[in-house]
Chain A
């Protein structure tokens, strides 16, 4: 299929976050990661569990297969069989994430949501991030408030920040000191461009190109999961 859009590449990059996840609760926040999780479930990861974002677990046919109110979500967080893809107002070099406040926490220049579940998520189970607008304001040297715990603050047996998917690239922390590494750039994006949009130097030794969606994935995405192309509004071509 032709005319593959940037948004579609972002969706499959998000789907790939769940490779090998098995019977795990996928908790994607936001449209692109949600489409990615659903796509993974329909292709390589049929055992994934998906919630409706409220209190139910749903099958791909949208029938209810389980009950998961917030109180039980916290049980899953502590139990650990979960991979969350959160948003981030800031992410830094070591994978710390901020959704709490910009500036001084006592008197922020910009109040955001608050810690939400980020501290518990990052200390208990695999966590990834989705950044729809990769820029130096988001990819910062050090976050103002550590909501999600990065590698230089990591403690305990279960910390696992997996990847950051952005509108430009896929990044991870698979370096000796767990500083952020450029894994792949999306087709049409240069390593230089990603570096220009990032406030700190990225490790960029073996950068590949983010894979294209398969025909099957495109078909599912375009006809089943997102026929109205809401994805293109979140990530313009």
Chain B
């Protein structure tokens, strides 16, 4: 079986200008921060970033790498708003496709199933469709004749996710309470990279925790602490202190270069 181990820099080296990059996790939970930091070290730009947004969005916006963001929300969980995301939005600095959270999942699922769209009720009547005129509705061909949102596939060039354990072949395991949507991100993408706390030979724990199999992964990066400062339970909780420092630096541009140098440089 193929050995897919690589460094974080190798994993992101195939990401080119303008690509669509899906980022796993949720808010400030189990984000592939080591891979995001590796992306910050590249010259790549004009990315379309697809994510249930947290500080990954803030950092990529801070680095000017985002042309368009596709999201259901951006939040740091214990801090409601990400200051960098706020700043670029209020400056009109990025394009956005803002979705309902369930529409987002449905779009990933459509891509994962190689379907052009999937129907969903969420979005009807709301301003999601007003600000995303590219999203059409479709009428049920059955007797009910109900009109539904035809959520288009959110097809990704690259998916970046972080899990608790993986083997060198790309089988990977979550050990916390929630898998989030990392399997769907991988199924929706052409190239899939998983970082993990530890590469193992064999897995402990119930087989239901094996979220990814090696068909779904092209590269495995061992990155202990690689979700920090977001949470990666049970390996570690969110580093609330560091997240607060991030938010304070992000809100005050005079503090940002020092924070960037110290934590991300």
Contacts and interface: CB of A to CB of B under 8 A. Distances in A.
B177 A54 contact: yes
B100 A111 contact: no
Contacts of B260: none
Those 4 A-B pairs whose CB atoms lie nearest each other, nearest first: A120-B122, A55-B177, A107-B92, A119-B126
Interface in A183-230: none
A42 B73 CA distance: 33
Contacts of B73: 113-116
Interface stretch (B9-17, B80-88, B159-167): B80-88
B105 A74 contact: yes
A176 B99 CA distance: 32
A4 interface: no
Given A116-B72, A116-B73, A123 B124 contact: yes
Interface in B126-146: 126-128, 130-131, 146
B127 A145 contact: yes
Contact of A71 (B72, B74, B179): B179
Contacts of B230: none
A93 B124 CA distance: 19
Given A71-B181, A149-B126, A113 B121 contact: no
A69 B178 contact: yes
Interface of B: 26, 53, 71-75, 80-81, 85-86, 89-92, 98-103, 105, 120-128, 130-131, 146-147, 177-181
Contact of A113 (B81, B105, B131, B146): B81
B127 A114 contact: no
Nearest to A55: B177
A110 B90 contact: yes
A147 B127 contact: yes
B85 A119 contact: no
A108 B101 contact: no
Interface in A50-89: 54-56, 67, 69-71, 74, 77-78
A111 B98 contact: no
Contacts of B71: 114
Most buried by B among A105, A111, A157: A111
Contacts of B126: 115, 118-119, 122-123, 146-149, 153
A154 interface: yes
A156 B75 contact: no
B180 A69 contact: yes
Interface in A134-183: 145-149, 153-159
Contacts of B85: 111
A100 interface: yes
Nearest to A143: B127
A108 B181 contact: no
11 contacts: A77-B122, A78-B102, A107-B91, A108-B90, A110-B90, A111-B89, A114-B75, A115-B101, A117-B122, A119-B125, A122-B125
Given A146-B126, A159-B125, A106 B101 contact: no
A124 B89 CA distance: 29
Given A119-B100, A119-B125, A145-B127, 4 more contacts: A70-B181, A116-B100, A119-B124, A149-B126
Contacts of B100: 115-120
Contacts of B90: 107-111
Contacts of B89: 101, 107-108, 111
Contacts of A19: none
A145 to B, nearest CB: 5
A109 B147 CA distance: 34
A70 B180 contact: yes
B81 A111 contact: yes
Contacts of B26: 70
B146 A115 contact: no
A69 B182 CA distance: 13
A77 B102 contact: yes
A74 B73 CA distance: 15
Contacts of A109: 90
Contacts of B72: 114-117
A81 B92 CA distance: 39
A141 B254 CA distance: 39
Contacts of A108: 89-90
A112 interface: yes
B99 A115 contact: yes
Nearest to A146: B127
A74 B81 contact: no
B146 A156 contact: yes
